[in-house]
Amino acid sequence: MITADLIAQHQLTASEYQKIVAILGREPSYTELGIFSVMWSEHCSYKSSRLHLKKLPTRGKLVVQGPGENAGIIDIGSGYVIAFKIESHNHPSFIEPFQGAATGVGGILRDIFTMGARPIAVLDSLRFGRLDSPSTGARNRRILGGVVAGIAHYGNCFGVPTVGGECIFEPCYDGNPLVNVFALGVCRKEEVFYAKAAGVGNPVIYVGARTGRDGIHGASMASAEFTEESKQKRPNVQVGDPFLEKLLLEACLEAMRTGAIVGIQDMGAAGLTCSTCEMGSRGEVGIEIELDRVPQRETGMTPYEIMLSESQERMLLVADRGREDEVYRVFRKWGLEAVEIGAVTGDGKLRVREHGATVAEIPNRELADEAPLYDRPHTAPPEVARRPELPAEPNVQKSLPALLAAPDLCSKLWIWQQYDYQVRTNTIAGPERADAAIVRVKETGTSVAISLDGNGRYTYLSPREGARLAVAECCRNLSTVGALPVAATNCLNFGNPERPEIMAQLVEAIEGIAEACRFFDTPITGGNVSLYNETLGEGIYPTPVLGIVGLMPAAQPLGIAFRNPGRSLVLLGGPGACDEVRFGSSQYVKEIARGLWGLPPALDMDVEKRVQAAMREIAAAGLAESAHDVSDGGLAVALAECCLGPAAIGAQVDLDSDLRPEILAFHEAPSRILLSTSQPAAVAAIAAAHGVPAPVVGVTIASELEIRQRGVTLGRWDLAELQAAHANGLAKYVD
């Protein structure tokens, strides 16, 4: 008996329930209600965002597969493609940090290899509450430690290098950390697999781990706000087994090579439900399964539980009838279970049987693709104070070490040293080495550069401008290492879309991403939306995270660090402009003035594009010895980061500017790249050809960093002092 309470428990509205009744032409069974509730959850159906996601550019000459599959695919030439995507695992990581993060890695890796691609790189974008908070610091430190250990545990054992990422701390992530994981894999162009069922009568085969009661309703959990009761949902978090996933990877890739596989999809969110109805819907066929045949870890599981379980490390595939044995042979070799649980039918329905009796029968297309679509009301993003409150007496000398020690800007060595960032010997630039991570593709002799970026402070102040800045920054990071940005994926982390001001943030951010991705010619090939990131009514900053990939030759990386004294320092793009309103989003204001106001830095996309084009040309000509873009923390922090490389080379800089000293040193205007060169004239010529200012602002020297403004010293630092501040910023909280 389906009561109003039961419907509410499944987070379905009365009108959604009416739609279910209309589709079925009758009341659903309990099992069917559960199936609809997960497929129509925000997490699986994108019912609040779908309307706006259509605004994103998704086509491009290199795009082989855009949104709608398990991952996006880009042609990298020489007969090879890359598959990549970013996904969130925010809610589980708050409830159970280690397993939540670990299974987040597991889920995105399956999305990659289910397409036939072997994963070669992982990056992560993390947000936590402040570690030094007297009230929540201890919990935040525990969450950080658990998340990092979980990512390390899964990625290291699976054998994929975690080559970079970002990690930011803000009070708004106190009760709602963000764990976004990006993965990228490589495969031959003609060996891409799709999650599509075909061929009436073909066997549907279940492979991998047995189904247990873990993770039931995970997708629905990810579609609700957190309350005091959320901790009781810990059993909803799945447990990961990276060794099993590694076996699954090898077995799937080997089975795909037999040619006997028609289509394949991993069982992630909404498990067996999602994989069956989506494969059926994509192939416009029906799928019938018998639950008695589903390998089970526990006894007495109900159809409801089996269909909704999110047990990890499982895949569903459709094979050619008559060639099943070729598939079974491979899975047996890897010690994995592979069982025929059903068949493809011609009636377009998902039919679930138990002991031969039908327990659910739902049309695939309506279930998978006709979920409710909401045009939720959106007003304007919340107003943020505009009034600047800069301390009267600036102190650049003291502020630089303080900023280098700040959690957002300090070295994240403590985190990434726990990750195997080298396995597979493709890592050309790992963490903190260059502005983007770089992995080579041995098969093609070229490299792929990857950058993740999202700045919640910027997006909070202006969702549209913040989103455009994130796209620009990713592209700039790629251009700084000499890579041409070609395609993007995004992870949209927002609060409750049922609140019009939050919905406005989402809409404006999507439109900002769309505009910038179109302008920089980096189509979105897939991604993930994570809503309801709220705890006890407190929302996070709107945090769209962009992941953009670029292509380049395989060569020694252009790193951040200065390599020799006596080189000219060129500030490509010039010193930039900033006023006190635009300064309000900076790290200086966050850490020194302890505030947030105004607007994000101003972005002129045309200027940005020319700066990046000039940079790529300079890199390709081999004219730069080091290059680093000016972003969080501004020019002074960028300079210090260049000084802190293995060679510990200093710099003497004199800036010609009217700006207030602290704004000059720490403002975060985009479209600026700091590079060292022994050939300033050749660099200037390329910059001039692109109409980009490229003043020589100083010179590298054997030791110390000195920054002057028109001859007046703003600060002078011993490199050891800066190094100590930078190196211990995070470690002092966690060890």
Q: Which residues are tagged catalytic?
A: 43, 89
> How is residue 215 annotated by DSSP?
T
Output the smallest distance, CB 239 to other proteins, in A.
Answer: 12
Between 424 and 518, whose beta carbon lies closer to other proteins? Answer: 424
Output the smallest distance, CB 114 to other proteins, in A.
Answer: 19
Residue 599: alpha-carbon gap to chain centroid: 24
Question: Token pair of 156, please?
Answer: 């290291």
Are residues 64 and 74 in contact, defined by beta-carbon separation less than 8 angstroms? yes
Between 555 and 696, whose beta carbon lies closer to other proteins? Answer: 555
Three-class secondary structure of residue 217 per DSSP: coil
Between 118 and 518, whose beta carbon lies closer to other proteins? Answer: 118
Q: What Å distances lie between residue 31 and 10, 37, 305, 549, 734, CA to CA?
A: 11, 10, 8, 42, 46
* Closest among 336, 308, 318 to 245, alpha carbons compared: 336
CA torsion sign, 531 to 535 to 537 to 541? negative
* Closest among 499, 502, 588, 511 to 540, alpha carbons compared: 502
Output the smallest distance, CB 551 to other proteins, in A.
Answer: 17
Between 162 and 671, whose beta carbon lies closer to other proteins? Answer: 162
Distance between CA atoms of 246 and 106, rounded to whole angstroms?
10
Output the smallest distance, CB 132 to other proteins, in A.
Answer: 22
Output the smallest distance, CB 149 to other proteins, in A.
Answer: 8
Are residues 502 and 460 in contact, defined by beta-carbon separation less than 8 angstroms? no
Output the smallest distance, CB 348 to other proteins, in A.
Answer: 39
Burial grade of 398 (CB within 10 A; 0-12, 13-18, 19 or more): exposed
Between 428 and 655, whose beta carbon lies closer to other proteins? Answer: 428
Cβ-count burial 12-40 (b if 16+ within 10 Å, e if not): beeebbebbeebbeeebbbbbbbbbbbbb
Distance between CA atoms of 99 and 238, rounded to whole angstroms?
7
Between 137 and 159, whose beta carbon lies closer to other proteins? Answer: 159
Ramachandran area for residue 221 (φ above 0: left; ψ -120 to 50: alpha; else beta): alpha
H-helix or E-strand spanning residue 44: helix 42-45
Which residues would be at the binding site for other proteins (CB under 8 A)? 149, 152, 156-159, 241-244, 246-247, 250, 334-335, 416-425, 427-428, 440, 442, 554-556
Output the smallest distance, CB 681 to other proteins, in A.
Answer: 29
Strand partners, 449: 438, 550
Report the half-sphere exposure of 17 (CA within 13 A, side-chain side): 19
Between 248 and 291, whose beta carbon lies closer to other proteins? Answer: 248
Three-class secondary structure of residue 162 per DSSP: strand
Between 41 and 723, whose beta carbon lies closer to other proteins? Answer: 723
Burial grade of 469 (CB within 10 A; 0-12, 13-18, 19 or more): buried
Output the smallest distance, CB 413 to other proteins, in A.
Answer: 9
